[in-house]
């Protein structure tokens, strides 16, 4: 039995409830001792959930700073707030030497990224972006294929957040969902990490490779307008938005050029009718994986013959150790099991206590920067932006520090 | 029975053979009176084919200029040469007042585009790019859906030329295929028209809408190198390429921003293992079509319900008149029937003789310009290039001139 970790959870929206219900409250070795939200009723709901799950009732806080003052034996904090306050809260806890796990989200500006790096380099408090898709079955099988040379050399990767969120956004006032405000003031690749996380692991970003430049282009923003126009009579609670302005383009295409010559295409696609997909694709000189199609391709040495296989075949044949183990012990938790894996990756690293994280702050900040830079690129009419090197040159021979079952070896 | 057209065919590679075998030589009302290629044996093969098909033996020429001098009653010329000489040959025939149908291909520089426009505006000789994919079943059904408002407003379109051409390129010396030289000296979106053609029709490009800017980004070029390394022992005829340099990136992503706010993504993907696809996607506020997935989506007015349908459903329900007729009389010719349609679109317009073409020179040149501009963008590190307006302002209220069964009405 591992040491019980005492953790705080900041931000009690739908994400936090999911993490508690499907992962944390099923683990005896994690104790949520403090929770925080600016809405008091959310705290009450979590307390009720704890009771229902027969777990210790957490102390409730309306202000995260009070947690830092009053909770003196925290092992870690998980931040699942709206994107906008991730960094301020993370920095406060890092300064208090409490290891930080932050839910996914992009940066509003590059300064935010530098503030995190500066704080980390001063405090050495571990910081990890809880990017669950790095632990996806497909993503990890593909990572193994890359490491074993099955792709030959990887040349191009592709991913997207393709998720029709029109209801979540339009009903944002009712739902108290922060996305509504985001779509009314921004226009950027605002949700890149589900794709850029796993792709960065594949391309060794910050470990011998880096992003050199990034450019983004946005379509017009008509999806939400049309959604509201066609639903406002049936759902009067969204009628107030009928003349609202939405700034966030329906489709944002982002292209990143890597130092070692690979390209990455990201597609953000959240306000038009479609199916859900992360459109994960990895393309090498000897093989290819296409999530949307459910297909994989393996080259032969014949003049023209490429073997076509199902994606499931590739996932089975090249199953990653983490998933082999996971299927044996039983897949659990939300989002196809990824949430359990990423949280336990964080918890394992916190327990080990050597200061290293399976997704470290240089990687996390690099992924967050995609949002800030895509914003600048769109504002400049699509001009490529130079990608800052947050490692300050260390990317050239940086090796992953730390180790453990959940560490995704370079 | 329509008037028999006497035509010349310039460039007798695989494309010309396909057009003759599967389309032209099955039409009694088209007479190929002259053919031209710099390889004499190709001329002999075509003469043999004519004999086999019991058609008039065409006169053979090694120099197209001789055709202009000697063939005095040509109704039209079809140019199916390597891309590099399309424009010079077209201009020569336009100056001789012979209507020109040119096979697909991109421009090497913007000047090429202006030379065509200048020649057209001086001579008024009709010019049409023979872009067969404009007449594809899916593309035309989608065009009808757009015109009927099924998509609501179209926001984003996507297409690609995703075709593993490694054998064609690597064996280019044996095959006498011009692509080999192209991949050794260029790096651009060198084959955009199969996608940008149908997409331009959908977005009314040059007819009330235009391309404002374009940017391209290319991955490294490793696919052909690896192909040759792994095949050279088995196929000694490609061994001489083992140290060759290939400049054309394996994947080129191009983003075009349109004046009316739509975006277009083009993916060129020809030298890595994969399946064939043109990856056609049209995204509107009310519907979506995804070629690769074989799916279409139709919005409802419910809070969150989008109806998923097969692509075949959409193609059946919104079948274009051209294809309704075509299925009745029997689909024929190459490339799923598109070759017959595009050639007969050209022949019908030539017969009508009012000087108008279903794909006119302003459209053709705009599509060709994608290649030249993507080249400049890649050379500049991905900077967006301003897209020239070849209509000189007429795009604002330009209406399609001419009419007929094959004209794709605005």
Taking the C-alpha atoms of residue A112 and residue B257, their distance in angstroms, rounded to an integer, is: 30
Give residue for tokens 């939300």.
A334
Give the separation between CA A175 and CA B167, rounded to whole angstroms. Answer: 55
**Rg, Å, chain B Cα set:** 21
Predicted confidence at residue A333, as pLDDT, reads 85
CA distance B302 to chain A (A): 7
Phi, psi of B199, deg, nearest 5:
-65, -40
Global pTM reads 0.97
Q: What is the pLDDT of residue A2?
A: 72
Nearest Cα of chain B lies from the Cα of A191 at a distance, in angstroms, of 19
Q: How far is CA A256 from the centre of its chain?
A: 18
Q: Pick from B410, B384, B407, B394: which is nearest to B258 by CA?
A: B384
Is A49's pLDDT higher than 90?
A: yes
Distance from CA of A96 to the nearest CA of B (A): 43
Q: In this predicted model, what pLDDT tens digit does every residue of B243-294 receive, in sequence order?
A: 999 999 999 999 999 999 999 999 999 999 999 999 999 999 999 999 999 9
In chain B, whose CA is at the least distance from the CA of A287?
B273
Contact A288 B295 (CB under 8 A): no
Contact status, residue A9 vs residue A67, Cβ threshold 8 Å = no
Query: Which run of H or E residues covers position A91?
Result: helix A86-95
Q: Does residue A79 contact residue A86 with C-beta atoms inside 8 Å?
A: yes
Q: Which of A155, A270, A298 is the best mutation test for B, with the most CBs of B within 10 A?
A: A155
- Token match 């598109």: residue? B338
Provide the pLDDT for residue B135: 98
Q: Do residues B258 and B228 touch, judged by C-beta distance below 8 A?
A: no
Residue B410 pLDDT level (bands cut at 50, 70, 90): low
Q: HEC profile for B270-285?
A: CCCCCCCECCCEEEEC
pLDDT of residue A401: 87
Give chain B's mean pLDDT: 97
Q: Please give the share of chain B, as a percent, with pLDDT higher than 90.
A: 96
The DSSP call for residue A88 is H
Report DSSP state, residue A112: H
Find the CB nearest A215 among B249, B288, B382.
Answer: B382
Cβ distance A263 to B253 less than 8 Å, yes or no, reads yes
Q: Which residue has the tokens 């520089």?
A: B109
Domain A5-132 in CATH: superfamily? NAD(P)-binding Rossmann-like Domain (3.40.50.720)
Cα–Cα nearest to A212, from A153, A155, A256, A158: A256
Query: What is the reported pLDDT for B56?
Result: 95
Residue A1 pLDDT greater than 60, yes or no? no
Confidence grade of residue B84 (pLDDT, cut at 50, 70, 90): very high
Strands laid side by side in the B100-102 sheet: B59-61, B30-36, B5-10, B76-79, B100-102, B127-129
| C-alpha separations of B148 from B136, B145, B318 in Å | 18, 5, 9
Using only C-alpha atoms, what is the Rg of chain A? 21
Token pair in block for residue B203: 């977005």
Q: What residues of chain B lie within 8 A of the CB of A286, using their CB?
A: 226, 273
CA distance B405 to A287: 44
Spatial distance between the Cα atoms of B104 and B367, rounded to a whole number of angstroms: 9
Residues A227 and A246: beta-carbon distance below 8 Å = no
Q: How far apart are CA A171 and CA A178, in angstroms?
A: 11
Pick the closest to residue A359 from A66, A102, A70 (CA basis): A102
Give the phi and the psi of residue B297 in degrees, each rounded to 5: -135, 135
Domains B5-132 and B133-321+360-396 share a fold: no
pLDDT category of residue A410 using cuts at 50, 70 and 90? low
**Cα A212 from chain centre:** 21
Mean pLDDT of B190-203: 98
Condensed to tens digits (0 to 9), the pLDDT of residues B366-395 reads 999 999 999 999 999 999 999 999 999 999
CA distance A217 to A378: 6
Nearest CB partner across the interface for B285, out of A167, A226, A384: A226
Q: Are A102 and A90 in contact (CB under 8 A)?
A: yes
Mutation to test the A interface, candidates B230, B261, B285, most A Cβ within 10 Å? B285
User: Nearest-CA distance from A185 to chain B in Å?
Assistant: 18
Cα(B51)–Cα(B43) distance, integer angstroms: 13
Task: Compute the count of residue pairs across chains A and B with CB atoms less than 8 Å apart.
Answer: 186
Q: How far apart are CA B308 and CA B391, in angstroms?
A: 40
Q: Please name the helix (run of DSSP H) or strand (run of DSSP E) that holds residue A157, with its range, or none.
A: strand A154-162
- Higher pLDDT among residues B105 and A335, named by residue: B105
Closest residue on chain A to B230 (Cα) = A301
Six-digit token pair at B296?
């279409």
Q: What is the DSSP letter of A205?
A: B
Tokens of B207: 């007819």
Q: With an 8 Å Cβ cutoff, are B303 and A235 in contact?
A: yes
pLDDT band at B1 (very low <50, low <70, confident <90, very high): low
Assess whether pLDDT exceeds 90 at residue B334: no
* C-beta atoms of A301 and B382 within 8 A: no
Q: How far is A226 from chain B (nearest CA, A)?
A: 6
Closest partner CB to B261 (pick from A219, A260, A292): A219
∠ CA A77-A80-A81, nearest 5°, is 115
Select the residue from B152, B155, B225, B300 to test the A interface by mutation, using most A Cβ atoms within 10 A: B155
Q: Each residue of A385-401: pLDDT tens digit? A: 999 999 999 999 999 88
DSSP reduced 3-state for A361: helix
C-alpha closest to that of A169 among A270, A42, A247, A39: A270
Q: Cα dist. A283→A142, A152, A215, A315, B406 in Å? A: 11, 9, 21, 16, 39
The predicted model gives A2-7 an average pLDDT of 91
pLDDT at B3: 84
Chain B positions touching A222 (Cβ under 8 A) are 152-153, 155, 285
| Average pLDDT taken over every residue of chain A | 97
Residues in B closer than 8 angstroms to A151, CB to CB, are none
| Contact between residue A206 and residue A395 where contact means Cβ atoms under 8 Å apart | yes
Stretch (H or E) spanning A161: strand A154-162
Domain boundaries, chain A: 5-132, 133-321+360-396
CA-closest candidate to residue B256, choices B198, B200, B190, B194: B200
Of the candidates B155, B235, B273, the beta carbon closest to that of A222 is on B155
Considering only CB atoms, which chain A residues are within 8 Å of B267? 265
Distance in angstroms (rounded) separating the CA atoms of residues B19 and A262: 38
First to last CA, chain B: 29
- Cα of B273 to nearest chain A Cα, Å: 6
Residue A383 to residue B384, Cβ atoms within 8 A: yes
The class that CATH gives domain B133-321+360-396 is: alpha beta
Query: Which pLDDT does position A409 carry in this prediction?
Result: 79
What are the chain B neighbours of A261 within 8 Å (beta carbons)?
219-220
SS (H, E, C) chain B: CCCCEEEEEECCCHHHHHHHHHCHHHCCCEEEEEEECCCHHHHHHHHHHHHHCCCCCCEEECCHHHHHHHCCCCCEEEECCCHHHHHHHHHHHHHCCCCEEECCCCCCCHHHHHHHHHHHHHHCCCEEECCHHHHCHHHHHHHHHHHCCCCCCEEEEEEEEECCCHHHHHCHHHHCCCHHHHHHHCCCCCCCHHHHHHHHHHHCECCCECEEEEEEEECCCCHHHHHHHHHCCCCHHHHHHCCCCCCCCCEEEEEEEECCCCEEEEEEECCCCCCCECCCEEEECCEEEECCCCEEEEECCCCCCEEEEEHHHHHHHCCCHHHHHHHHHCCCCCHHHHHHHHHHHHHHHHHHCCCCCCCCHHHHHHHHHHHHHHHHHHHCCCCCEECCCCCCCHHHCCCCCCCCCCCCCC
Tens of pLDDT, residues A191-241: 999 999 999 999 999 999 999 999 999 999 999 999 999 999 999 999 999
**Pairwise CA distance, residues A105 & A102, whole Å:** 9
d(CA A188, CA A108): 10
CA A227 to chain centre: 27
Q: Which pLDDT tens digit goes with each residue over A25-45?
A: 999 999 999 999 999 999 999
| Backbone dihedral region for residue B267 (phi beyond 0: left; psi -120 to 50: alpha; all else: beta) | beta
- CB-based contact B286 A226, cutoff 8 Å: yes
Q: What is the pLDDT of residues B102-136, one digit of tens each?
A: 999 999 999 999 999 999 999 999 999 999 999 99
Lowest mean pLDDT among A370-384, B87-101, B170-184: B170-184
């Amino acid at each position: 039995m591992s040491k019980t970790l005492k953790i705080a959870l900041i931000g009690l929206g739908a994400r936090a409830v999911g993490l508690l219900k499907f992962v944390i409250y099923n683990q005896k070795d994690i104790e949520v001792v403090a929770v925080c939200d600016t809405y008091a009723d959310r705290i009450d709901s979590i307390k009720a959930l704890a009771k229902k799950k027969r777990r210790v009732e957490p102390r409730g806080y309306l202000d995260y700073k009070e947690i830092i003052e009053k909770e003196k034996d925290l092992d870690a904090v998980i931040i699942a707030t709206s994107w906008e306050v991730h960094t301020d809260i993370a920095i406060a806890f890092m300064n208090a030497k409490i290891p930080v796990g932050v839910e996914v989200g992009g940066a509003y500006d590059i300064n935010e990224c530098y503030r995190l790096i500066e704080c980390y380099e001063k405090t050495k408090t571990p910081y990890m972006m809880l990017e669950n898709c790095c632990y996806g079955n497909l993503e990890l099988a593909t990572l193994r294929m890359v490491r074993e040379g099955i792709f030959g050399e990887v040349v191009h990767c592709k991913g997207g957040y393709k998720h029709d969120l029109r209801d979540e956004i339009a009903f944002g006032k009712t739902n108290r969902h922060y996305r509504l405000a985001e779509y009314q003031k921004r226009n950027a690749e605002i949700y890149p990490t589900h794709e850029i996380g796993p792709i960065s692991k594949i391309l060794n970003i910050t470990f011998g490779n880096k992003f050199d430049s990034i450019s983004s282009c946005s379509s017009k923003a008509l999806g939400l307008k049309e959604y509201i126009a066609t639903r406002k009579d049936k759902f009067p609670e969204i009628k107030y938005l009928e003349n609202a302005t939405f700034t966030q383009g329906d489709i944002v295409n982002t292209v990143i050029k890597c130092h070692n010559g690979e390209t990455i295409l990201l597609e953000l696609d959240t306000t038009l009718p479609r199916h859900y997909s992360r459109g994960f694709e990895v393309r090498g000189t000897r093989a290819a994986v296409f999530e949307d199609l459910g297909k994989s391709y393996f080259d032969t040495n014949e003049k023209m013959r490429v073997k076509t296989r199902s994606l499931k075949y590739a996932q089975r044949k090249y199953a990653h150790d983490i998933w082999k183990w996971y299927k044996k012990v039983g897949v659990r938790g939300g989002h196809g099991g990824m949430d359990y894996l990423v949280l336990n990756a964080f918890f394992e690293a916190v327990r080990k206590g050597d200061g290293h994280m399976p997704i470290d702050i240089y990687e996390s900040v690099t992924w967050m920067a995609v949002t800030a830079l895509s914003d600048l690129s769109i504002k400049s009419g699509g001009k490529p932006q130079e990608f800052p090197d947050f490692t300050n040159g260390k990317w050239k021979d940086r090796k992953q520090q730390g180790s453990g079952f959940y560490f995704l070896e370079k």
